[in-house]
Structure 1
Amino acid sequence: MRYAFETEGLVKRYGKVTALDGLDLRASPGTVLGVLGPNGAGKTTAVRILASLIRPDSGTARVGGYDVLRYPHEVRRIIGLTGQYASVDLGLTGSQNLVMVGCLLGMTRAAARRRAADLLDRFDLAHAGGRKASTYSGGMRRRLDLAVSLVGDPAVLYLDEPTTGLDPQSRFELWDIVRDLVAGGSTVLLTTQYLDEVDRLSDDIVVIDQGVAIASGTPTELKSKIDQQTLELIPADATTVDRCTAIVAELAGTKPIREGERLVLQVNDTGLPAAVLRRLDEAGISLASLALRQPSLDEVFLSLTGGRSRTAMDSPDTENTRPVQDSTEGVAA
């Protein structure tokens, strides 16, 4: 099977720090691969290697069948990249940013203008195309940044934490754009700090920690790795929370976590909710709600990584890196 992009045994070191330690990734055409990991896990380093911007110390990376080291120009012709921060020129208008990139990609000015108009309309920015990007809101800049990465109509798109700092409405709008891109046949690599984002958008997920993949699968498959469910209950009378906590702790053998008036407990005994209801009823305690649900992706993530999260200062992803070649042909944003 030919993958849209794949890596095998990627290793990248920055001095004594190992950013990637044998990382394997692969994505089928027309899918979204979500990449999760604590800060400093190596997510951005992997993206930079796949974009042919830095060299791995060992291992291989291929995009569209092209080796990123042997054929960087071919790779750059078929990819788009949106980084963690909008990289548009704030002194130019939205239209000028898009036309400039189109010309850099070898389009005629007329073709670049047509492409810019199409993208401004697609990203609901046509009304602001003549305004300087410095006047755009954060969500508008991110949409423009994503539009810039699509000027060359890439087959593979790398989105490195594309919704960082956006309000919920702007995030939802970008989610719709990603879905439309994939429906049109594009392949997306998505790194994000929002687990609900990768849960909703990804066909497959890879969790990496300390530069190596520690788990992979569909969102449902990853959730099934935790052999527990989450019991959540809220007493109808807030004054009974302490008594309710004591009863649940006695039955479960562990104290539930209290979040305001809500009690949360990880359980692997499906008979526990019924036992809790009986004991609370005997104690005269009524519940406003009780639910037994599957683990969230957040809980899976914390379980797999042990809650580790290195600071940005420890992260090798923040190191200065040298491009493979001086040319940036085909890489937008």
Structure 2
Amino acid sequence: MKQLKCLLLLFFSLSTAFCIAQDINLENLKKHVYYLSSDQMKGRATGSKELKKAARYIEKEFKKHRLSPKGTKGYRQSFEAKVRRLVVADSIRTAENIIGFLDNGAPYTIVIGAHYDHLGLGDFGGSKDPDNIGKIHNGADDNASGVAGLLELARYYSSNQVQEDFNILFIAFSAEELGLLGSKYWTENPTLPLSDIHWMLNMDMIGRYNPNNGLAIIGYGTSPQFPEIFEGIQSDIKFNLSKDGNGGSDQTSFYKKDIPVLFFHTGGHEDYHKTGDDAEKIDYQALKSILQLEVKVIDHSMKQKKMDFTWTN
């Protein structure tokens, strides 16, 4: 009897440890946001050595989670990005999407994306902080929060000991702040057939949850299957479903290619595109809850056949 109790205790201990290991990890989220939005990263401007450093960080995480390279050269997909808002000496900049693939041997693939560039010193347009042009715009919410979500979902799905019925393609987009250029380039030069995409999930600014407004989930109308996918889904945060597929971030590039999309977004705030968008202002507990909600949505979507697309406007 004593031996049986020990075995049962060991079983439940291992089971509990496995469940904890597979939950969204709050400390991982903090680590990623604080690193990517530190002053040393100088705002991660497209073409900067700091953005290249961020790219290496993301690539290292993809390798750690044993994602297969799915760029045109390893994990990288290089392209040229042009600054158009202002006249600057270095208007043509080299940019790179970082792409990792969780291959489950399935016919269709879910794309999960987030952009990892930001405004640098705010000196090539886009800053809402005219008194602080030339100072570091850290971009903790925009979009270190989304990249942290991308990396944590990569860890979660690559380590959950489940072979899902869909593959997952993780893309960190560059040059979003220059006009969605990274996602536009990928959808024009896809590294897997667009016809094989089940749907696309985009995370951009998911770190400043306001309980009065709730989380916006944009793109609910882009597939007739989304109502069934969301049926019965609950969360400890409030979320609002919006039908439109267009709207200010990288999911738009996929929507324009007739691919169902969802865009998770906690909304604007007083630090948007300003020097005050710092890591200590992120609501990490809410960020974790958003990712837990996304896992539910992703898992429910895997119960569907390949999703149909609907134009919303």
TM-score when normalising by structure 1: 0.28
Specify the structure having the higher radius of gyration (Cα).
1
